[in-house]
């Protein structure tokens, strides 16, 4: 349960394990694995609450995941421009330190709430819940949650979102789905980004990338897009419109949807000793 790298103790949930918090001690008085299991249970409880909140307001919540630099923020900028006249968008930005990405979104005239995650290598449901206090969801159709750039940890934490979208950029190589199976199994949609570079990076095979994805028994759509020329982002926009219609239908029927959360991901944090080695996850990003 992330019991070795400590990465699921985040600014959003650390109050639960601090002195006086409900999970300060385990049954035998030690702050050990049980604490982290309790945190994961608390996270899932909070995620269900968040999802109920989204459904109540008719909001479609989408979690964007990728390695750093795959183009999440650029995609959001293009998406906002494409849908500005028909869809009301808000963004929750997870970033280790800076407000740079949130400022890029605000420059598009869209509300963005920044979550500084500090040493945590993923967002959790508590952090997203805190961010929601700064948003009026009654004025939102689609909420995008831009997760921390990392191809391991975010796959395993429910935030209350309805769909997971994983980006794979052409410069990263076509073997990423094979190297990071947990992340790509968590995807409800895989977007091949920076497709305008396919002309130059001829060693990248989109067919091979999709083959690796299918090898994981994933039926997620695999769409090729570019925010700079090429095919543009039309396939992505069409997918979003369809998802928004489905969410509105679910809301009418009193139903909800959960993304393909992958609990296996916590196992990738095994190894080493102790519970507070916050920086171990940097080593594990390459161990998947």
pLDDT tens-digit series, residues 2-46: 333 455 566 677 677 666 776 665 555 655 456 667 766 888 899
Decide: 182 and 166 in contact? Cβ < 8 Å.
Answer: no
Determine, yes or no, domain membership for 248. Answer: yes
What residues are paired with 165 via a beta bridge? 64, 189
Look up the domain containing 142 and give its range: 58-263
Determine, yes or no, domain membership for 73. Answer: yes
- CA dist 81 to 74, 104, 171, 279, Å? 11, 13, 25, 37
Please state the domain count of the chain: 1
- Name the pLDDT band for 196 (thresholds 50, 70, 90): very high
Distance, in Å, from the CA atom of 78 to the CA atom of 233, rounded to the nearest integer, reads 8
Q: What is the CATH number of the domain that holds 102?
A: 3.40.50.300
The model carries a pTM of 0.83
CB within 8 Å of 129: residues ≥ 6 apart = 12, 46, 49, 50, 160
Determine, yes or no, domain membership for 141. Answer: yes
């Amino acid at each position: 349960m992330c019991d070795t790298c400590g990465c699921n103790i985040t600014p959003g949930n650390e109050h639960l394990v601090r002195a006086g918090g409900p999970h300060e001690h385990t049954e035998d008085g030690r702050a050990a694995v049980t604490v982290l299991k309790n945190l994961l249970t608390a996270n899932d409880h909070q995620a269900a609450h968040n999802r109920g909140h989204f459904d109540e307001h008719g909001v479609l919540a989408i979690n964007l995941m990728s390695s750093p630099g795959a183009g999440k923020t650029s995609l959001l900028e293009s998406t906002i421009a494409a849908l500005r006249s028909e869809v009301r968008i808000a963004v929750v930005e997870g970033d280790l330190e800076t407000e740079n990405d949130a400022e890029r979104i605000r420059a598009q005239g869209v509300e963005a709430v920044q979550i500084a995650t500090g040493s945590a290598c993923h967002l959790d449901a508590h952090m997203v819940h805190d961010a929601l206090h700064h948003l009026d969801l009654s004025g939102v159709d689609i909420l995008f949650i831009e997760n921390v750039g990392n191809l391991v940890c975010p796959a395993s934490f429910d935030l209350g979102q309805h769909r997971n979208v994983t980006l794979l950029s052409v410069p990263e190589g076509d073997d990423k789905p094979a190297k990071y199976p947990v992340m790509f199994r968590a995807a409800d949609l895989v977007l091949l980004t920076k497709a305008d570079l396919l002309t130059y990076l001829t060693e990248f095979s989109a067919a091979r990338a999709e083959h690796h994805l299918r090898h994981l028994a994933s039926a997620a759509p695999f769409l090729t897009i570019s925010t700079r020329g090429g095919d543009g982002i039309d396939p992505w926009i069409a997918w979003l419109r369809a998802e928004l219609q489905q969410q509105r239908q679910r809301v009418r029927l009193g139903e909800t949807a959960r993304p393909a959360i992958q609990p296996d991901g916590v196992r990738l944090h095994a190894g080493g000793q102790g519970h507070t080695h916050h920086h171990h996850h940097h080593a594990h990003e390459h161990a998947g």
